[in-house]
Structure 1
Amino acid sequence: MIYPEVRNYVAGRFVSTNTDTLEVVSPLDGALLSTMPLSGMNELDEAVKAAQAAFPAWSAMPLKERVQIFYRYKTLLEQNLEELTELVHRENGKTMGEARAEVEKSIELTEFACSLPQLVAGEILEVSAGVECRLEKKPLGVVASIAPFNFPNMVPHWTIPNALALGNCMILKPSEKVPISASRIAELLTEAGLPAGVFNVVNGGQEIVEAICDHPDIQAVSFVGSTKVAKIVYRRATNNLKRCVALGGAKNHLIVLPDANVALTAAGVAASMSGCAGQRCMAGSAMVGVGPVDPIIAKIVEEAKKIIPGQNLGSVISRESKERIEKYISEAEAAGAKVLVDGRNAVVQGKENGYYVGPTIIDFVTPDMAIAKEEVFGPVLAIIRAKTLDDALQIENTSNYGNAAAVFTQSGGLARYVMENASAGMIGVNVGVPVPREPFSFGGWNESKFGTCDITGKSSIEFWTQMKKTTTKWNPEAGINWMS
């Protein structure tokens, strides 16, 4: 093994378990990275008890003092940037550049948490003579975050800094495919001065997810993963009277108009569909070409051919993923679509045991094909032809998903029309991956998100807190009216 065995992190220390273990394999080359425990309800209960024990003192600490820990933690992320980058690269398969960008986004998310004292200051108003009403945001208690494989460092930071800085104590359940980054995050938080029990890591598979949804002392659950599982988690958690925000999958449409800047569009579309090997919920996996856009498609093909597996294109997460992605391509081709760039059967020299799919572009896809409707989660672009912009929007709006949509055009009026009519929570104009930067929040619509509030930014403050309202009166001489 390249790394030590992964263990749960409870009450400020790594703990051994007597559970079964699972091998952690690098998708880059098939190398054995580590093993991790398949925890269950007993292991979760230990972590919840540790979090409960830490909550009174942690929540009583003033917010401005809590965020001092995250200032120190941000510095530690910066100091350990290269090590954390290497971890993401090895366990997820991203290129080093993509892995570094992921950790840098984690730093930005932590920086936002440091600004929380300026964003959650209480409100106070004299509502009548001598009578004041006060509003404060209070933490919920013990909360949980269930993270996916595709961003082992960044997605945990969607929740960790904000939830903890706001006074909660957390249980993190990382993906069983990428658990090593979570262990290092726990170490750095402790090094920054986070008290024992405030942050805990419990590893496992389906059993631990179900246990989190069922545990009576967990107040809120965040989830990021497929729509199928997001629905299950949301229903199960809310059925147990918990708060839940569950982010699911996506089928993001890039609408390309004939007047679009050819070079800008081609670069943006190619990067959107292939970045992180297409394994991100913001990937532009469906392009809707409106009218005569063949010169732009030709340029996209040219750009795609510059993307080389093992060089500027990372691996997909597993052999099963590679087989599933290539099946989508073959089925679309058999149904009459035309493969312009074929990434099937990609092999990287020296990494023959890795899981690679080359950039793939498929033209003349029809809206009824599976590749046009379902989340492929690979470096694959399905091109659908539309006669008018309204036809293109109809294709976008009939999708079950609603994470992101983008339009490429030089017309401000047409861009505004798409902005107003696309059924998605995040919109791009000449931007293929319209991820909002802090303090703007991340979250989609329709079957891309279940629950209220977004998972990051200002919106997340409402999710991780509850409001306490206090009314006070001290001067009886002020008299009494209907407001007092």
Structure 2
Amino acid sequence: MNTNDTLSEVKNYIDGQFERNGQNSMNVFSPLDGSIISTLPLSTNSDVDKAVQAAKKAYPSWSSKTLKERVQVFFKYRNLLEQNMDELTKLVRLENGKTYSEAKAEVEKSMELCEFAVSMPQIVVNEVQEVSKGVECRIERKPLGVVASIAPFNFPNMVPHWTIPNALVLGNTMVMKPSELVPLSTVRIAELLKEAGLPDGVFNLVNGGKEVVEAICDHPDIQAVSFVGSTKVAKLVYKRATSNLKRCVALGGAKNHLIVLPDAHEEMTASNVLASMAGCAGQRCMAASVMVGVDNVQHIIDRMVEEAKALVPGDNLGSVITAESKARIEGYIAEAEANGAKILVDGRNVTVLGKEGGYYVGPTIIDYVTTDMSVAREEIFGPVISIIRAKDLDEAIEIENGSNYGNAAAVFTQSGGLAKQVMDRASAGMIGVNIGVPVPREPFSFGGWNESKFGVGDITGRSSIEFWTQNKKTTIKWNPEAKTNWMS
């Protein structure tokens, strides 16, 4: 695959081969300019079953290799990501609409995720103990078998790497379903995995829509499912997968609150809040969505308004994913204005010269938002921040706690004591202090609370080891002269 203006059609990748099988198809558009860049097969249950059977066939050989043997593939693969950095970056930009620097950062994060996976031999160590005289107990981590991963549109390169390296290094084989909006990066991932020496059938790729997701949740030979997407779909996937007796961790949406106190550093706070709001065009589950201003923070808001002028759609601000997304985001802004909020910076009706067909929304700052407004409660997934005014920190934390979501929360202050209150009381799985996007770095794991995550454990880092493996406990006795007791 290459990054020419028009790419070849997307195909499924099953048992080491790309194939189409003549299904119905849909067009794939670039949000940069609205052009058609590829076509995608709408796969069926039979395609999912074929991929599962390939993974099932590859499992005995792959799982029987030692952990150190399996990580060798990902040593090579991580270097291939680096060698193909520019191409992979351009693919992300083409199909997702990010700026070049954002897309490159995404691929660099994928490399970091691989680096954690290849450290597994130093992390996943079997436990052995003599529990009674002459009696030894041991615990070994064993893979589950065939697993599945369902990825979203907003990080077409990085989010697949939340699951591929860890799940495969730990001995599982996989069927992956990327978002039908951004299938190109995952195709290139499959090619590079093969180039790195991954045996055929260990990683399989099935493209399509709802039917593929349902088939994954229902297939009796799939042992575990990971999902990243909206809360609405995460709930459906979690319920369907677990009702079929599978493990499932499903990450949903977010409504992240950034609490700004009057003593916050003006320049750092304004730039951090804006970067959190507008990075990746606001299409990330860690984006700032609500700023809760405590007492008098007008000087910080004024600076945000001034600095927002430097965010230029099509230059240092990317596009949103579809025309429907653009219309939905602009609808939220219009509704807030009609309900009495004040639009300080208006990103509606943006066009980019030479890319008039693209899907762009400018930076938008909405002040005097109340907690009952849709912009305060619902996930917008665009470069929009709503400002709610609070009289004190207790009220600000109450506003944050009132959200159904719980992915991230942050506080901007120079007071360690006040920061500690937010750290302790905010109802979110990931907390930032003077950091607008508090994403943990490996080996720390990624995962929210409340309606931002369904299932036990997190999807990355050390926590993912529990999800992708099961414990085998063995008790051993060789010496007949040892006394027999209740342990033996």
Aligned positions of 1:19-418 closer than 5 A:
19-418=23-422
3-state SS, counterpart of residue 152 of structure 1: coil
Letter aligned with residue 302 of structure 2:
A
Letter aligned with residue 434 of structure 1:
P
Q: 1:411 and 1:302 mapped to 2: Cα distance? A: 26
Q: 1:40 and 1:121 mapped to 2: Cα distance? A: 40
Q: 1:31 and 1:82 mapped to 2: Cα distance? A: 21
3-state SS, counterpart of residue 376 of structure 1: coil
Structure 1 position 483, deviation (Å): 2.0
Structure 1 residue corresponding to 2:440, chosen from 420, 427, 436: 436
3-state SS, counterpart of residue 478 of structure 1: coil
Q: 1:353 and 1:240 mapped to 2: Cα distance? A: 43
Q: 1:282 and 1:22 mapped to 2: Cα distance? A: 30
What are the superposed Cα offsets for residues 359-404 of structure 1, whole Å, 9 maximum, x if unpaired? 0000000000000000000000000000010100000001000000
Aligned to 2:468: 464
Structure 1 position 18, deviation (Å): 1.9
3-state SS, counterpart of residue 368 of structure 2: strand
Letter aligned with residue 260 of structure 1:
A
Structure 1 position 246, deviation (Å): 0.1
Number of residue pairs matched by the alignment: 484
Letter aligned with residue 58 of structure 1:
W
3-state SS, counterpart of residue 285 of structure 1: strand
Letter aligned with residue 160 of structure 2:
P
Q: 2:306 and 2:189 mapped to 1: Cα distance? A: 40
Letter aligned with residue 122 of structure 1:
N
What are the superposed Cα offsets for residues 83-130 of structure 1, whole Å, 9 maximum, x if unpaired? 000000000000000000000000000000000111111000000011
Q: 1:199 and 1:258 mapped to 2: Cα distance? A: 51
Q: 2:364 and 2:81 mapped to 1: Cα distance? A: 35
Letter aligned with residue 152 of structure 2:
P
Q: 1:17 and 1:29 mapped to 2: Cα distance? A: 30
User: Is residue 18 of structure 1 aligned with residue 33 of structure 2?
Assistant: no
Structure 1 alignment gaps of length 5 or more: none
3-state SS, counterpart of residue 339 of structure 1: strand
What are the superposed Cα offsets for residues 265-301 of structure 1, whole Å, 9 maximum, x if unpaired? 0000000000000000000010000000000000111
Structure 1 position 305, deviation (Å): 1.2
What are the superposed Cα offsets for residues 157-208 of structure 1, whole Å, 9 maximum, x if unpaired? 0000000000000001000000010000000000000000000000000010
3-state SS, counterpart of residue 353 of structure 1: coil
Structure 2 alignment gaps of length 5 or more: none
Q: 1:33 and 1:71 mapped to 2: Cα distance? A: 32
Structure 1 position 481, deviation (Å): 1.6
Displaced runs of 4 or more, over 3 A:
none
3-state SS, counterpart of residue 365 of structure 1: coil
Aligned to 1:475: 479
3-state SS, counterpart of residue 219 of structure 1: strand
What are the superposed Cα offsets for residues 443-464 of structure 1, whole Å, 9 maximum, x if unpaired? 0000000000100000000000
Q: 1:222 and 1:64 mapped to 2: Cα distance? A: 25
Q: 1:109 and 1:2 mapped to 2: Cα distance? A: 30
TM-score normalised by the chain length of structure 1? 1.00
Q: 2:111 and 2:172 mapped to 1: Cα distance? A: 20
3-state SS, counterpart of residue 472 of structure 2: strand
Q: 1:418 and 1:12 mapped to 2: Cα distance? A: 49
What are the superposed Cα offsets for residues 319-343 of structure 1, whole Å, 9 maximum, x if unpaired? 0000000000000000000000000
Letter aligned with residue 197 of structure 1:
G
3-state SS, counterpart of residue 340 of structure 2: coil
Letter aligned with residue 388 of structure 1:
D
